[in-house]
Structure 1
Amino acid sequence: MDRLTSMAIFVKAAESGSFAAAALAFGISSQMAGRHVIALEERVGAPLLARTTRRQSLTEIGQIFYERCKALLADAEAAESVAMDFSASPRGRLRVTAPVTFGSCCLAPLITRYLRANPEVQVDLTLTDRFVDLVDEGYEVAIRLGPLSDSSMIAKPLMPYRLLACASPAYLKEHGEPRTPEALARHECLGFSFTSLPPYNEWVFGSARGKHAVTVTGRFQANDTKALIAAAIDGFGIALAPEIAIKDDIAAGRLVRLLRKYEAPERPMHALFTARRPTPKLRAFIDLVVAEFGP
C-alpha cells in the first residue's frame, strides 16, 4: 500500500472518528480504510487507534503519529503545489552555455528579450569555446557548433555557422584583393588560436571544382574573434569571421566580403538539451532560439 495514502486515510479517520467517514472521503470501502490503518500499525509496531464498538480514539503513540502525519502531508501538498506552479509558467533559473562569438553577438540580445517576456526567470549564460558536458556541469541547454556525436541529447538544428573572408577597403587598396582561395597564401591573414591548440591556419572553401584548402600565415593570432575583426577593420589583414559577427560592418562598408564566387566554410549549429519533458522556462527559451536562428 502507498504509505502517503495510508497516512492520509489515518488522519481523516482520526479527525472524523470513523473509518466510514474516511472511506467516503477517499471513495473506498470501510474495510479498505481499516486495512490502510492496520498496515501503518504493523509498520510502526504499535496501535494507533483505540477501537470500541461505539467509538475510536487516538492512542498516545497515535496522537504523536497523527501530528507528524499532518505535517508530512502538508509538506507533500506544498511540494506538489510548487511543482505545479513551476510547470504552469516559465520561472526559476536557466543555465545556458554557448560559443563566445555567437553568444556575445547574437544570443545575449535574444536573452534580454526572453527575460523581458518571462519576468520570473533568471538566466546564467556562460560563453566558452570548449566542449561543455551539460549533465556533469549542470547546464540545461547548450548552443553547439560542429557535428553531433552524443545521441542521448535532444538537438534542435539551427542555421549553419558560416565564415566569410573579409578585409577593410584600406587593406585591399594597399595589397590588392585575392580572387581565389589560393591567393590568400600571399596575404597577411589573421589567425584564430585556441587555448590549447595551434592557430587555425587552414582555410577551406568550395566551388564547382571541389574543395580549396589553403594554408595561411600571418603575424597576428588571437583566441577572440572580436579582436581579429577589429584588426581587420584597422586594415592589418584578412580575417575569416562569422557572418553573424561582421554583417553590420559589411553593410556599413568597414569591411568587404571576399571570394564571393566560392562557397564559404560553415559548421552545423544546434541547440542541445537533455530534458525529455522540458520545463516551461526551457521550452520557451528553445522555442525563441529556434524561431530566431532556425535553419
Structure 2
Amino acid sequence: MDRLTSMKVFVKAAETGSFAAVADLMGMSPQMVARHVATLETHLGTTLINRTTRRQQLTEIGRNYYDRCRIVLSEVEEADAVAMEMKATPAGVIRVNAPVTFGSHVLSPFITRYLQRYPDVQVDLTLSDRIVNPMEEDYEVIIRLGELADSTMVAWQLSPYRLIACASPSYIARQGMPLVPADLSRHSCLVYGFWSSFTPCRWVFQKEDRTEEIRPEGRYRSNDWNALMHAAIEGYGITLGPESVLRNEISRGNLVRVLPDYDGPSRPLHVLVPPAKKQTVKIRCFIDALRKTFPP
C-alpha cells in the first residue's frame, strides 16, 4: 500500500477516533481504513491505535507517530504547492479561520465568488471568535477582529468592522425613534457578548468630536449575534451590529438605522499569514482578492 495514503488515513483515524468516520471522509470502506492502519503497524512493528468495541485510542508511540505524520504530510503538501507555483492559476486547499459573524455573513459570500473564479481551489473555513494558534491548528490564512497583539505573523489591514444600531419599523412605530444615545436607556436593547456586573456591556457613539457611552439594558442577551439580529427583525428591540451585515436588512426594509447622525463603534480587521507558511500562489491570490474586496 502507498505509505503516504496510509499516513493520511492514520492521521484522520487519530483525529476522528472512528474508522467509519474516516471511511466517509476519504471515500473508502472501513475495512480498507483498518488495512491501512494495520499496514503501518506491521511496517513499524508496533501498535499505533488500541481498538476496542467501544472506542479507539492512540498508544504513546501512536501519539508521537501522529505528530510526525502531520509534519510529513504538511511538507508533502508544501512540495506540491511549490510545484503548482509553476502554474498561473491558484490551486489546492486553503485553510481559513475567521470570526463567526463576519465569516458567516460577509466572508462566506466572498469565498463562493472566489471559488467560482478559481475552480482548482478548495477552501476549508472554520469560524471561531477565540484567538487560534495557526501553527498548532494548521491554518494558512487567519482573519482577526480587534487590535493586533505583538506577533510574528504577516498582517494586512482590511476594511474596518463598523457597528451601527438598528431596529425594525414596527418597533420604532411602537416605541418611537431615539434621538440621542441617552434615549436608549428607555428602550429594549439586545445585548451581545459575555457580560457580568464586573464587565458590563458598553455601546459607544460618536458625533463630530463628542463621544457618548451608554450601558444597554434589555431582557434578551446572547453570545450569538445572529439570534439578536433575528429578534430585532421581529420587533423585539434595538441591536448593535456590523454595518456590512445590517445594510442588507435595511435595504430589504426589515430594519431601519437608529441614531443615523452618530458613528457607532469601529474595530480594525486584519488578514494574517503565519511566517512559517510559504506564501504560495494560492495564498497570495486569496489575500490579494480579500484586500481588493475589503480595502482599508
* Mapped partners of 1:197, 1:108: distance in 2: 35
Q: Which residue pairs with 2:292 in the alignment?
A: 291
Q: Which residue pairs with 1:279 in the alignment?
A: 280
Q: After superposition, where does 1:1-295 map in structure 2 within 5 Å?
A: 82=80, 84-89=82-87, 90-194=90-194, 201-275=201-275, 277-295=278-296
TM-score normalised by structure 2 residue count: 0.68
Deviation at 1:195, TM superposition (A): 9.3
Deviation at 1:259, TM superposition (A): 0.9
Contact kept in structure 2, 1:191 and 1:199, CA below 8 Å: no
* Mapped partners of 1:278, 1:192: distance in 2: 36
Report the residue type matching 2:120 in the other structure.
E
Contact kept in structure 2, 1:140 and 1:273, CA below 8 Å: yes
**Identical counterparts, % of pairs:** 47
* Mapped partners of 1:80, 1:228: distance in 2: 42
Taking a change above 3 Å as real, the CA distance of residues 212 and 130 of structure 1, as seen in their structure-2 partners, is: same
1:26-67: per-residue Cα shift (whole Å, max 9, x none)?
xxxxxxxxxxxxxxxxxxxxxxxxxxxxxxxxxxxxxxxxxx
Q: Which residue pairs with 2:38 in the alignment?
A: none
Taking a change above 3 Å as real, the CA distance of residues 136 and 82 of structure 1, as seen in their structure-2 partners, is: closer
Structure 2 residue matching 1:159: 3-state secondary structure: coil
Contact kept in structure 2, 1:192 and 1:199, CA below 8 Å: no
**Which segments of 5 or more consecutive residues in structure 1 lack a partner in the other structure?**
1-77
Deviation at 1:258, TM superposition (A): 1.1
Report the residue type matching 2:246 in the other structure.
I
Report the residue type matching 2:136 in the other structure.
D
* Mapped partners of 2:185, 2:191: distance in 1: 13
Deviation at 1:224, TM superposition (A): 1.7
Structure 2 residue matching 1:248: 3-state secondary structure: helix
Contact kept in structure 1, 2:98 and 2:127, CA below 8 Å: yes
* Mapped partners of 2:77, 2:188: distance in 1: 62
1:257-280: per-residue Cα shift (whole Å, max 9, x none)?
011221211100011112474011
Deviation at 1:121, TM superposition (A): 2.2
Structure 2 residue matching 1:148: 3-state secondary structure: coil
Taking a change above 3 Å as real, the CA distance of residues 79 and 191 of structure 1, as seen in their structure-2 partners, is: closer
* Mapped partners of 2:80, 2:118: distance in 1: 18
TM-score normalised by structure 1 residue count: 0.68
* Mapped partners of 1:279, 1:139: distance in 2: 14
* Mapped partners of 1:79, 1:234: distance in 2: 48
Contact kept in structure 2, 1:199 and 1:221, CA below 8 Å: no
Structure 2 residue matching 1:103: 3-state secondary structure: helix
